[in-house]
Amino acid sequence: MTEAGARALAGKVAIVTGVSPNVTAGIAYGLGDAGASVFCADIREEFARACAAGIKKRGGEADAIACDVTDENAVARCVQAAVTRYGRVDVLVNGAAISRPFGLLDMELAEFRVQIDCILSGAFLFTKHVGKHMIEAQTKGSILNLGSTEGHQGNPGNIAYGTAKSGLINFTRAAAMELAPFGIRVNLLTPTGTDPSEGLARAAEWNVTWKQSGRSVRKPNFSSGSEGVPLGRQPVPSDYAAAAVFLASDGAQMVTGTELRVDAGVLSRYWRWNPGGQKEG
């Protein structure tokens, strides 16, 4: 991170939800490195506390709380706890998600609902309660929803996750329009398939169990790893963190209701072009 970027969020307070060791924890680390005090929330308390401890180890300020993002009372308590601890909330990152790959024909309704509820209801509840706090405090804050390239594409065998992430696209636009009169910005940060090396290293550092999504297991007719990625490699969480810092900073004060993709070009790729794939002949 540049010297300017290192202080881009100095004095700001961020709530980050769903801080498992991979993508969202990497974003939380990046916000802390940029000077924000980070309030880490996860249904698994060990993840929340380990993420906060990791930020502190890097010289940042952080605290943690266990929170079920689908429980409105728990969400309200989390936001109030952050305000009590740090006095304000300037940034919200809605990163909580469940990704258990099942297809249309083999998924139970209860499983479909739990993934939709975590991703969409969680973003709704945190945006609602943080938005109310920001309006009351007259804070011109920044809210980031964590999307996915799966929100734009039909991935066979993972219907609930992609459907929920697609819903976040218009939720972002709608929330941005409702909160714009108060100077609160809402944007979508869209990752793609992510190199797991940082996540695995962080899980080892935290001494917690974390497994890659079943989507990372190679299936027939699917590419894997960096195959098909125009820029030649999959992003890592720190790539997303740099984008999150920008969107959360005053440098993005005229950016709202939009999507920033950090996907190494995969959504722009012509479907027949498969860089890194099998060579002809």
What pLDDT shows up at residue 213? 60
Question: What tens digit of pLDDT does each residue of 190-202 get?
Answer: 999 999 999 999 9
Question: What tens digit of pLDDT does each residue of 9-52 get?
Answer: 999 999 999 999 999 999 999 999 999 999 999 999 999 999 99
What's the burial of 154, exposed, middle or buried (CB within 10 Å: 0-12/13-18/19+)? Answer: exposed
At 211, list the tokens. 């497994």
Q: Which residues are catalytic?
A: 161
The values of phi and psi at residue 176, to 5°, are -60, -40
First-last CA distance in the chain:
43
Q: Where are the domains of the chain?
A: 9-268
Residues 6+ apart with CB under 8 A from 84: none
What pLDDT shows up at residue 220? 77
Question: What tens digit of pLDDT does each residue of 222-249 get?
Answer: 888 899 999 999 999 999 999 999 999 9
Look at the chain and count its residues: 281
> What value does the mean pLDDT of the chain take?
94
Q: Tokens 């950090």 belong to which residue? A: 262
At 137, list the tokens. 């405090």
What pLDDT shows up at residue 276? 84
Identify how many contiguous H helices and E strands the chain contains and give both numbers. Answer: 9, 7
Q: Are 124 and 165 in contact (CB under 8 A)?
A: no
What pLDDT shows up at residue 107? 96
What pLDDT shows up at residue 166? 98
Cα–Cα distance between 208 and 200 in angstroms, integer? 10
Question: What tens digit of pLDDT does each residue of 166-212 get?
Answer: 999 999 999 999 999 999 999 999 999 999 999 999 999 999 988 76
Higher pLDDT, 161 or 277: 161
| Mean pLDDT, residues 136-150 | 98
Q: Closest Cα to residue 234, out of 275, 189, 200, 192?
A: 192
What pLDDT shows up at residue 3? 47
Q: What percent of the chain has pLDDT over 90?
A: 88
C-alpha distance from residue 199 to each of 21, 22, 69, 253 (Å): 5, 4, 22, 31
Higher pLDDT, 214 or 52: 52
Q: Are 40 and 95 in contact (CB under 8 A)?
A: no
What's the burial of 59, exposed, middle or buried (CB within 10 Å: 0-12/13-18/19+)? Answer: exposed
**What is the torsional sign of CA 240, 245, 246, 252?**
positive
The hierarchical CATH code for the domain 9-268 is 3.40.50.720
What pLDDT shows up at residue 221? 79
pLDDT band at 4 (very low <50, low <70, confident <90, very high): very low
Residue 280: pLDDT over 60: no
